[in-house]
């Protein structure tokens, strides 16, 4: 595996409460990883840590062999983009400007943005079906429309690592499938996508690898078959389930008893 993210002995706490506890994991180029686990498991915290937002208690995170603490903000932002879970935006910017913010790591101090930046913004706004919102204020969009604009912003950052925190939480089924399908296409082209996902079926369908977190630790990482087991679902979610092969969807499936 050609590793792009290496996390070793990561510990992170807030007010002496352990939030991430001794995380050791690597992610390869071209993987589409689904981070799963119950509320409060540490999915968002892990994504923020990879994006350099959290100051770690111990351990380190390397992206393409470089310790993220030694990277300048713009340098890290050319490698990693994060789409936040929180879509409640209070600043009233036009959507085109929001997506252009994804080009910030490439801007020059006095030069601002180029024609190429504008073309990239249009490309991803067309793709996410948000081009018609370009001049509208983001505060005037629905939750799902906003989420698509924020996805366009992350894509416009054109990084090798893309972190998505519950990217489809407010999306209708068409746009949900579109975001996962496109994320898979990006990973097929060599990008590494890590998405925190609650919908286990969509994670099973699209992700090449799953990481099950619980109480700040990794319960299991591997293929859907390795991770989605009755025992693991009981450990992490406390549910009694039956895992089976669904011959209609042609994939692993489960139901809660
Ligand atoms: N600023 C904070 N102050 C105190 N505790 C926090 C803070 N941010 C997160 N936590 C705690 O850290 C733990 C992990 O939170 P995190 O948001 O990473 O979980 P998650 O797996 O993303 O959950 P969800 O599925 O509900 O989004 C939770 O117990 C949460 O309450």
Residue nearest to atom 16 of ligand 1 (CA): 42
Q: Hey, how many other C-beta atoms are within 10 angstroms of the C-beta on 84?
A: 18
Which ligand 1 atom lies nearest to the CA of residue 35? 21
Pairing, β 161-165 against β 80-83: parallel
N- to C-terminal Cα separation, the chain: 38
Q: How far is the CA of 216 from the centre of ligand 1 (A)?
A: 9
Say if 233 falls within a structural domain. no
| pLDDT value for 88 | 60
| pLDDT value for 85 | 78
Q: What is the 3-state secondary structure (H, E, C) of the chain?
A: CCEEEEEEEEEEEECCEEEEEEEEEEEECCCEEEEECCCCCCHHHHHHHHCCCCCCCEEEEEECCEEHHHCCHHHHHCCEEEECCCCCCCCCCEHHHHHHHHHHHHCECCCECCHHHHHHHHHHHHHCCCHHHCCCEHHHCCHHHHHHHHHHHHHHCCCCEEEEECCCCCCCHHHHHHHHHHHHHHHHCCCEEEEECCCHHHHHHHCCEEEEEECCEEEEEECHHHHCCHHHHHHHHCCCEEEEEECCCCEEEEEEC
Q: How far is the CA of 54 from the centre of ligand 1 (A)?
A: 12
Please give the tally of structural domains in the chain.
Answer: 1
Residue nearest to atom 29 of ligand 1 (CA): 40
Q: How many residues does the chain have?
A: 257
Say if 116 falls within a structural domain. yes
Say if 247 falls within a structural domain. no
Say if 97 falls within a structural domain. yes
| pLDDT value for 111 | 64
Residue nearest to atom 3 of ligand 1 (CA): 14
Q: How far is the CA of 215 from the centre of ligand 1 (A)?
A: 10
| pLDDT value for 171 | 84
How far apart CA 220 and CA 140 sit, in angstroms, is 41
Q: Hey, how many other C-beta atoms are within 10 angstroms of the C-beta on 79?
A: 20
Residue nearest to atom 27 of ligand 1 (CA): 39
Say if 151 falls within a structural domain. yes
| Whether the CB of 39 sits within 6 Å of ligand 1 | yes
Pairing, β 58-63 against β 161-165: unpaired
Residue nearest to atom 26 of ligand 1 (CA): 39
Instruction: State the ipTM, two decimals.
Output: 0.97
How far apart CA 43 and CA 211 sit, in angstroms, is 10
Q: What is the 3-state secondary structure (H, E, C) of 89-106?
A: CCCCCEHHHHHHHHHHHH
Q: How far is the CA of 46 from the centre of ligand 1 (A)?
A: 10
Q: How far is the CA of 202 from the centre of ligand 1 (A)?
A: 23
Say if 202 falls within a structural domain. no
Q: How far is the CA of 42 from the centre of ligand 1 (A)?
A: 6
Q: What is the pTM of this model?
A: 0.94
Question: Which pair of tokens denotes residue 206?
Answer: 């699209």
Q: Is 81 exposed, middle or buried (0-12, 13-18, 19+ CB in 10 A)?
A: buried
List the pLDDT tens digit at each of the 257 positions of the chain. Answer: 689 999 999 999 999 999 999 999 999 999 999 999 999 999 999 999 999 988 889 999 999 999 999 999 999 999 999 998 765 666 789 999 999 999 999 987 766 788 999 999 999 999 889 999 999 999 999 888 998 999 999 999 999 999 999 988 888 899 899 899 999 999 999 999 999 999 999 999 999 999 999 999 999 999 999 999 999 999 999 999 999 999 998 999 999 99
How far apart CA 251 and CA 239 sit, in angstroms, is 21
> What is the four-CA torsion angle of 75, 76, 81, 87, rounded to 10 degrees?
-110
Say if 99 falls within a structural domain. yes
Range of the domain at 134: 80-158
Say if 109 falls within a structural domain. yes
How far apart CA 86 and CA 112 sit, in angstroms, is 27
Residue nearest to atom 6 of ligand 1 (CA): 14
């Amino acid at each position: 595996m050609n590793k792009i993210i290496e996390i070793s002995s990561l510990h992170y706490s807030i007010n002496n409460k352990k939030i991430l506890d001794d995380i050791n994991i690597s992610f390869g180029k071209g993987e589409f990883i689904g981070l799963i686990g119950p509320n409060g498991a540490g999915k968002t915290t892990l994504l923020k840590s990879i994006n350099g937002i959290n100051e770690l208690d111990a351990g380190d995170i390397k992206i393409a062999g470089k310790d993220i603490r030694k990277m300048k903000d713009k340098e890290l932002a050319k490698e990693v983009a994060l789409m936040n879970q929180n879509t409640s935006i209070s600043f009233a910017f036009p959507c085109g400007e929001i997506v252009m913010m994804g080009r910030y790591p490439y801007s020059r101090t006095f030069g601002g943005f180029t024609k190429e930046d504008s073309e990239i913004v249009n490309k991803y706004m067309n793709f996410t079906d948000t081009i018609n919102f370009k001049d509208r204020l983001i505060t005037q969009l629905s939750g799902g429309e906003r989420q698509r604009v924020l996805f366009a912003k992350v894509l416009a950052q054109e990084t090798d690592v893309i972190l998505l925190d519950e990217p489809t939480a407010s999306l209708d089924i068409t746009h949900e499938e579109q975001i996962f399908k496109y994320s898979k296409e990006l990973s097929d082209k060599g990008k590494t996508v890590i998405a925190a996902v609650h919908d286990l079926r969509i994670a099973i369908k699209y992700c090449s690898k799953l990481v099950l977190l619980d109480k700040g630790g990794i319960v299991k990482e591997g293929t859907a078959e390795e991770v989605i087991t009755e025992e693991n679902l009981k450990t992490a979610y406390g549910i009694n389930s039956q895992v089976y092969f669904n011959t209609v969807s042609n994939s692993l499936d489960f139901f809660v008893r």
